[in-house]
Amino acid sequence: MLSPSDVSIGETQPWDIQVNNPRFFRRILDGGRLALGESYVDGDWDCPSLDEMTCELLEVGVRPPLWSMRREIALIIASKLVNMQNRRRAWEIGSHHYDLDNEFYQEMLGPSMAYSCALYRNGAQDLTEAQNAKFELVWKKLGLKPGMRILDIGAGWGGFAHFAASRKVEVVGITVSKEQAAYARERCRGLPVDIHLMSYPDLPKHFGNQFDRVLSIGMFEHVGPKNYGLFMRVNAACLKGDGLAFLHTIGGSGYPDLWTHRYIFPNGVLPNMRQIVDAVRGVFVIEDIDNFGADYDHTLMAWYENFKTAWPHFVGSHTRNGRTFDERFYRLWEFYLKTAAGAFRARSIHLWQIVLSKRGVPGGYMPVR
């Protein structure tokens, strides 16, 4: 399986696999990608450079045997039959992942508290500078001006809401995480920011045709293919006729990944471009598409370094939603962050920023980079 790549078993390169328990081999042959992650968390194998290992394997297209993928295939089939992101399930991601511990996320994400790709390509020297550059880019792409009113769908810990409101833009933000909502409200106290604990399908009945701009940064990955059309219609229903909508999302296969679904982002799916185009058709005009997915590699590795540095402060304590910061937690998050970085490095997944308008910008939209 590994022969097309530069990854070996038991050799000395940082991206080589060091087997600690021989059951590793049977687990991988039987369980594929899911078993690869589970056996790492269990300590069956190690790799000093998980990110480079992942990049190497993806660049040459190493795949586990088809029979070992049966559970992944079953999840994909189920996702076509069942809406994994229906109204009830939409709240699961908040309680499982985002309600983990605000202090933990502060340490990992840094001062911006932005849990989305930062912008390094324009010369940023560190994570904080790169996240501010991303916020500045969003501001310019949307043509924001003081006095405008915007809707932030998936406002998170209020990073962009605080950035925009500090420039005299009125912000309404929503999230499905209680911890995020509490943090964002406190962070934006005294600014024209209103944070709601709300799922996006409920937006039109509260905020129809009220906003100059509607944006979503790093939330679309939780919407799900069966709901993409609804999401776009909700955006349009909340937007004034001459307004702009903005979508910042990871792009991938369009199918759920079993390991990520089970351990990191329940019900999450990375959309493919065809799914986005189909959802937009008849609702919006696509004005601009920008891909800077290579910058997500740098972002994730910066998060990992912050995570590793802060770990001694958390080890042995408990999360807000009942888990323990123990060795298994560390290995789970190490695997998550580093393998995601490797996938972006291999350009197997992407980061798209898409600008949309209802009827097309008169004379054409002027792209901003």
Question: Residue 182 is part of a domain; what is its CATH number?
Answer: 3.40.50.150
Residue 143 and residue 171 in one domain: yes
Share of the chain above pLDDT 90, in %: 96
Closest CA to 237 of 153, 354, 139: 153
Under DSSP, the state recorded for 67 is: G
Long-range contacts of 16-22 (CB under 8 A, 24+ apart): 16/47, 16/53, 17/45, 17/46, 17/47, 17/53, 18/45, 18/46, 18/47, 19/44, 19/45, 20/44, 20/45, 20/46, 21/45
User: How many independent structural domains does the chain possess?
Assistant: 2
The answer to whether residue 87 scores a pLDDT higher than 90 is no
Residue 57 and residue 138 in one domain: no
Compute and round to an integer the Cα radius of gyration of the chain: 21
Task: Note the pTM of the prediction, 2 decimals.
Answer: 0.96
Residue 96 and residue 19 in one domain: no
367 in any annotated domain? no
| Residue range(s) defining the domain that contains residue 106 | 89-297+346-357
Residue 27 and residue 75 in one domain: yes
139-157 tens-digit pLDDT: 999 999 999 999 999 999 9
Residue 119 and residue 8 in one domain: no
179-236 tens-digit pLDDT: 999 999 999 999 999 999 999 999 999 998 899 999 999 999 999 999 999 999 999 9
Residue 210 and residue 112 in one domain: yes
Among 55, 82, 109, residue at a domain's last position: 82
279 in any annotated domain? yes
